[in-house]
Structure 1
């Protein structure tokens, strides 16, 4: 477990976040350069991913909720909100298998 977003560059980490945070990713491997935590609520976390060619996607997760994002044959990034306690979220990132 870490509180430093730099430890998540390979999309393999458990990160504690309490507010807006940019998590830089290996764009060569995952296509997307970053995941942006936009908000940590009392019982949720909202994140967005900007597409390199414009546009993007946003998702809100509750505790135990998960999602993923990926591009074509590159491995997806799996995102899970493990918990939210006292304004701090525990977010797990995992690299998925290439499609």
Structure 2
């Protein structure tokens, strides 16, 4: 059975966290298809990355559930990635 993929932008990731740490933390909400943490920082000087979730028919509900999560003492900023070509593709 094919799964819908939705990519989310995640900002304010604590220093020292790796992509697999982020995937493990967010994997309790939905199955993770992949994760990435950039080496550079955002314009707001925040560490950021992306997480792709499988099976996200209702991505808006998932986005609401992810808001305000605390990871290692940092409140994550999470929203659906605007220009990700993976969004709504079927794997």
Going by fraction, where is strand more abundant, 1 or 2? Answer: 1
Higher RCO (C-alpha 8 Å, min separation 6): 2
**TM norm. shorter chain > 0.5:** no
